[in-house]
Amino acid sequence: MMTSEEGWTQFLGTVGRWGLALAALAALLLLSAVPLDISGFAGVRPFFALMAVYYWSILSTAPPPGVFAFGLVLDLLSGYPPGMTALLLVAAQAVTARNRKFLLGQPFLVIWAGFAVEALAAGAVQWLLFSLLALARMPLLPVLIAAALSALLFPLSVLPLAAVYRALSDRPEPP
């Protein structure tokens, strides 16, 4: 039987772990919303939110409404049309979840390559949607740079994402 002190400690631990997850999501939202100042390419934004959705979708399944809400907040912070990033993240989550069993047993390089492909696909869809909304062909190079930067930064994002995952679960080490 659990004492009230043990129950309180367990409750605080749970609140702390979820607080850590929310803080990580808030940091990713802010990082995703701020464009990088790359010479000649104003507005390039690496897909930090996609990194989290991809990585955590390999390890466990998050509810699509939560992923959609995460993307909707990012759209509002970024000045994008509401729902654009949200739909992209839900689609990316569905693709990753479909390949989850395969990805779980793979070395990190395969997971990294999978993310690079997903980042390029997300960037292409985003470019297409922006072009359709503008009724003009938007420049493709900034999207390619954002996808390439995302792929290059993905290994660095895995360390904090794995730490948050470990804090939220009693599961074994993620890949």
Q: How confident is the model at residue 104, as a pLDDT? A: 92
Write down the pTM of the prediction: 0.81
In DSSP notation, 82-98 reads TTHHHHHHHHHHHHHHH
Spell out the per-residue pLDDT of the chain, length 175, in tens: 556 666 656 665 666 666 666 677 778 778 877 776 666 666 788 899 999 899 988 987 777 888 898 899 989 988 889 999 999 999 999 999 999 999 998 999 999 999 999 999 999 999 999 999 999 999 998 889 999 999 999 999 988 888 777 777 755 455 5
Q: Which residues, other chains included, contact 122 with Cβ-Cβ below 8 Å and sequence gap of 6+?
A: 47, 50, 88, 92, 147
Cα(127)–Cα(85) distance, integer angstroms: 11
Cα(82)–Cα(84) distance, integer angstroms: 6
Closest C-alpha to 71, from 44, 125, 33: 33
Cα(62)–Cα(66) distance, integer angstroms: 7
Tokens of 136: 């003009």
Tokens of 90: 């839900």
Q: Is 38 helix (H, G, I), strand (E, B) or coil?
A: strand
